A and B are shown apart, each in its own frame.
Chain A
Amino acid sequence: MSAPDLSRLTIAVPRGALLGGTLDLLDRLGIDTAEIRANDRKLLFEAAGIVTMRPSDVPTYVEHGAADIGITGKDVLLEQPEREVYELLDLGFGRCEMVVAARRGDDALGEALRRLGRVRVATKYPKIATAHFAETGRQAEIVEVKGSVELAPLTGLVDGIVDLTATGRTLAENDLEVLEQVTVCTARLIANPVSHKLKAEAMDRLVGEIRGEGP
């Protein structure tokens, strides 16, 4: 029986907004990312020990051990609290705010709450939105959408939205204003619980290098 290589880590890398920061980090760690930068259709890079995927799939792959470690946003982790993964490090990059926003000027959210005792809120993050309105003592009907959330309040589907924003530009371009900050999200390093023990040495070395403690 061939012994599994315990010094080698498979890394789940998020495509999308966190990809640039993630690849820069991997470069600093001496992992060759040229092939990934050159190729945005290929998903599996065996030589580098990297698999690429949507950020929201990273906890799934890491939980099941298909990747030993992964990088994803705190927003993804908050939305999938049932995933059994270890959160090892705040990587600092990819800073975004989770906000409540609504159409500029007409106070649709406040009016719905005053007159109807509840608000309708569209989001791609139903757990985060539900928790936020529950914690602030407001009855909210959460409408889950998959695509551009900004459209929902403009068409009268909902009174407001809960969404992630980095610069606020998309919100402003759609005539939406930020009303409340729910939380701040950055990129996080997560690990599979079993790999965390069985590949402890490789994982500690990586964490140490990211923290700047040197190899």
Chain B
Amino acid sequence: MLPDEMREVRAITEGLRQTFESAGYGEVWTPALEYEEVLRAGDGAASKAGYRMFDEQGHVLALRSDMTIPIARVAATRYRAEGGPLRLCYFAHAYRSVGRGSGQQREFLQAGAELIGVEGPGGEAEVIALLLAALDRAGLARHRIGLGDGALYRHLLSNLEVPAEDHADLLERLSARDMVGLEMRVAQLGLPDSARQLLTRLPELRGGPGVLERASEAAGPSVKGLQTLYAALEDRGVADRVIIDLGLVRDLSYYTGAVYEVYDPAVGFTLGGGGRYDDLIGSFGTPRPACGVGLDVQRVHIARAAEERLR
């Protein structure tokens, strides 16, 4: 990275950092190398670590692929004794495997915030409002949040008594948004028409709060949770920038409730995302509710440049 690009990236990270810090989110730093077993304790797929190596005793080390698991470990160990809410932010490199020529970087800069010890929906509302303000400060104007519930489809499958052995396959298709494959797979379940309709059409619902009114009782607690979260976002005056998306599933397994993604109409890819992960910190010690968000700084930078071109 040369000076021209570096100056622009710094302007973005400074804007994010100032917003996070003034909201009480203190910056933390953790090593890029973690014991693989630590990452695996947080997430069965070791959070999709792309690079592994051995130390001199034969322990497997991995380069972290996101910051949420390392921060959960810090919260469970270094802050074990503290009861109140914990607000942390980070600016750090993470690592992923990429296809050659895909234009993606193996090492990418993540910026994010984690709110630990605050239950939903107040926690998510605070984090989403913080995220919108931070992106304003970083120079974006058109960014929007897609909001869903990672557990919604699982609730729906259980309520409709879909056999447990079919769940993983259906969720995988939904997560890839292969709606054709999902419809075919649902058709094979031999469910009554109404249930079939629900399983294929509910995840297509997205838009304003009207979506939640249309969502059926079958999705039960998730829809109720999203309703109260949306009301909390209205109270904070940011609901008009939030799009409810009942088909949203983030592919990290540690999310337990609300999930969200960040979009900008100037670019075709998501800028980041996050969600509620109430069980993650418990894998490293005392359980605590938590939620957070992470941004890919380079993508924010590209979106900012694309917005400027459209002006």
Chain A interface residues toward B at CB < 8 A: 1-2, 4, 6, 62-66, 82, 84-90, 188, 192-198, 200-201, 204, 207
Partner of A1, one of B141, B176, B206, B270: B141
* Assembly CA distance A186 to B180 (angstroms): 11
* A200 and B207 contact, Cβ closer than 8 Å, known pairs A2-B310, A193-B177: yes
List the 10 shortest-distance A-B pairs measured between CB atoms, nearest first. Answer: A65-B268, A86-B177, A194-B263, A90-B180, A64-B268, A4-B265, A87-B178, A197-B146, A200-B206, A192-B268
Q: How large is the interface on B (under 10, 10 to 19, 20 to 34, 35 or more residues)?
A: 20 to 34
Q: Could you say which residues of chain A place their CB within 8 Å of the CB of B269?
A: 63-65, 84, 193-194
Task: Please state if B268 and A6 are interface contacts (CB–CB under 8 Å).
Answer: no
Q: Could you say which residues of chain A place their CB within 8 Å of the CB of B245?
A: 197
Binary interface encoding of chain B residues 161-186 relative to chain A, with 1 for a CB under 8 A from any of its CBs, else 0: 00000000000000011111100000
Contacting residues of chain B (3-42) with chain A, CB-CB under 8 angstroms? none
Secondary structure at the A interface, as helix, strand, loop or mixed, is: mixed
Could you tell me the distance in whole angstroms from the C-beta of A210 to the nearest C-beta in chain B?
13
* Assembly CA distance A115 to B212 (angstroms): 63
Task: Please state if A88 and B180 are interface contacts (CB–CB under 8 Å).
Answer: yes
- Whether, in the assembled complex, B106 has its beta carbon less than 8 Å from a beta carbon of chain A, the answer is no
Task: Please state if B204 and A204 are interface contacts (CB–CB under 8 Å).
Answer: yes
Task: Please state if A197 and B180 are interface contacts (CB–CB under 8 Å).
Answer: no
Q: Could you say which residues of chain A place their CB within 8 Å of the CB of B267?
A: 65, 194
* Assembly CA distance A193 to B141 (angstroms): 20
* Assembly CA distance A57 to B177 (angstroms): 20
Task: Please state if A188 and B270 are interface contacts (CB–CB under 8 Å).
Answer: no
Task: Please state if B177 and A87 are interface contacts (CB–CB under 8 Å).
Answer: yes
Binary interface encoding of chain B residues 191-212 relative to chain A, with 1 for a CB under 8 A from any of its CBs, else 0: 0000000000000101100000
